[in-house]
Amino acid sequence: MIGCASGAPAAAGPPVASAATSTAAPLPALEWKFSQVFGERAIGEEVQEVDIISAIEFDKTGEHLATGDRGGRVVLFERTDGRDQRTRRELERADSLGPRHLEYRYSTEFQSHEPEFDYLKSLEIEEKINKIRWCQTTNAAQFLLSTNDKTIKSWKVTEKKVKQVKNLNLDPGAMQRNGNAMVSSMVLNPKGFAPRLSMNGDGVNRPIPDICPDFAFPPGGFPSLHLPAVLWSNETALIARCRRVYANAHAYHINSISNNSDCETFISADDLRINLWNFEVSDQSFNIVDIKPTNMEDLTEVITSAEFHPSHCNMLAYSSSKGSIRLIDMRQSALCDRHSKLFEENEPAGARSFFTEIIASISDIKFARGGRYILSRDYMTLKLWDINMESAPVATFKVHEYLRPKLCDLYENDSIFDKFECCLSGDGTRVATGSYSNLFRVFGTSSGSEEASTLESSKTPNRRVMTPFLKPGSRLANLARGRRENRRVSESPTADMNGGVHDFSSKLLHLAWHPTANLIACAASNSLYMYYA
């Protein structure tokens, strides 16, 4: 499904890629193709809530990919085309056919978080993985952070050889030459005298056969009898070990974690505070941002996302529910209650409505690799900000403009509060974000670029879905009182004025762009899809 009518940038700006110039021709639109899918759902198969993917992250090299789900599990994938096991003839034939696209394979998985219960607050803490971040590594081991609503954990994943236990290995022929049937029975069934366990773990005695009174061991014993031996095999397995647990530092739900470029610290952010941690210290953190008012009735905004600058270890940015982004410098003071720069685009007074603040809330921010640009995602748009220009974004990409007439219905079924993530390509020339009906959008950021592709997370991402016109749902909300108790609008597919059906129950919230290649990994419910260009 391809479309670009509602996705063209509303304001053009300088390209993100440093190699591009304002006089250069815009880059051609990429042609996206299906690469792989993991956990594909069969037609009619019911998806378990715990299997829905809730986080995706590539490491800095792109060799590894991690996903987290609502069941508290972290699943790791590794790149396979870099470790090719094909013969020389197969490789030569593959070279003649052109370069291969990146491919991944399942590596391992582990249980990161378990459901907990806070007895002091009578609060159930679910195991859902909110964020995953890869950490710097200096050896073959992989390190990563994972967090749920309250607890952050540091994991080390290493490759270890598998131990094998060799059982008794006797030569039946040698025993038969002894001429003793009892010994032969013992040799042929070396486990016959081992204690057997019942279902409850208690020992169960096996019947012991009668031994001839004239039985005697031969001189020197049985040469073919070997004791069990533990040996290292050539097989290897990935083992995940929890190194540290960073807990009891957040009173509200954690929405972001971000690693610092100094490779020694990281931040964690909840609705009202941002804490600074040292990787090696798990029982102490420093509060660097606190927007909690003395009286909670005076609360007007919350923190929605936070991210460290990719190269300056003293700078970080965080977004708010009011649609603003604050850039802070940790060198100014211990408590960064004053921002260095404020990025905010104000709505004209006449254009404000009941939904203005709701749709202005920023759900995700990302720094471009060079650190000069910040990409933000609110409900309706993607915005690209230059950190040297606070007045307005250099480019605005309309993602959900076609839903503006349906904001009342979206408010009724809570879809207006969905939090979509965003990502940038490694060279910064393109951005991507998710949408409804398991669609995702890709936009070009170069000056003059009109690239705005809409793709479906399926094996045929470019197929065009033709649907008949459907009557839009009725609007029944009482906007004056802001009540939502009589929710008559279901999450069944509805149509816009152009006849396009939008399934608000199928939403693509999480996606990630490979750091060096044009490869996008996105989560559609419990399935992980990958596309290359």
Instruction: Give the CATH number of domain 35-83+100-157+243-464+501-532.
Output: 2.130.10.10
How far out from the chain centre does Cα 38 lie? Answer: 14
Q: What are the backbone angles phi and psi of residue 439, rounded to the nearest 5°?
A: -105, 155
Give me the pLDDT at residue 225, please. 66
User: Can you say whether the dihedral through the CA atoms of 101, 106, 112, 113 is positive or negative?
Assistant: positive
What are the residues whose beta carbons fall under 8 Å from the beta carbon of 456, sequence distance 6 or more? 1, 437, 438, 439, 462, 463, 465
Give me the pLDDT at residue 202, please. 52
Whether 431 contacts 41, CB under 8 Å: no
Burial 311-325 (b: 16+ CB within 10 A, else e): eebebbbbbbbebbb
Give me the pLDDT at residue 2, please. 41
Tally of residues, the chain: 533
Neighbour count for residue 499 (Cβ, 10 Å)? 11
How far out from the chain centre does Cα 247 lie? Answer: 21
Beta strand segments in 43-103, E: 53-58, 64-69, 73-79
Give how far Cα 342 sits from Cα of 258, 319, 336, 349, Å. 20, 10, 13, 20
Q: Write out the two tokens for 178.
A: 């002894």
Predicted structure pTM score: 0.78
How far apart CA 116 and CA 34 sit, in angstroms, is 39
Give me the pLDDT at residue 31, please. 94
What are the residues whose beta carbons fall under 8 Å from the beta carbon of 149, sequence distance 6 or more? 125, 126, 128, 130, 253, 254
How far apart CA 267 and CA 317 sit, in angstroms, is 11
Whether 77 contacts 64, CB under 8 Å: yes
DSSP letters of 211-262? --TT--PPTT--TT----EEEEEEEEEEEEEEEEEE-S--SS---EEEE-TT
Give me the pLDDT at residue 255, please. 96
How far apart CA 373 and CA 393 sit, in angstroms, is 10
Give me the pLDDT at residue 99, please. 58
Give me the pLDDT at residue 21, please. 39
State the virtual CA torsion across 92, 94, 98, 100 in degrees, nearest 10: -130
Per-residue confidence in pLDDT tens, the chain, 533 aa: 444 444 545 544 445 544 333 456 778 889 999 999 999 888 778 889 999 999 999 999 999 999 999 999 999 999 997 555 556 666 566 555 555 789 999 999 999 999 999 888 888 999 999 999 999 988 889 999 999 999 999 999 999 888 877 665 555 554 455 444 444 444 444 444 444 444 444 555 555 556 677 777 778 776 766 677 777 777 888 999 999 999 999 999 999 999 999 999 999 999 999 999 999 999 999 999 999 999 999 999 999 999 999 999 999 999 999 999 999 999 988 888 889 999 999 877 777 888 999 999 999 999 999 999 999 999 999 999 999 999 899 999 999 999 999 999 999 999 999 999 999 999 999 999 999 999 999 999 988 888 999 999 999 888 654 433 333 333 333 323 333 333 333 344 555 433 456 788 899 999 999 999 999 999 999 999 999 99
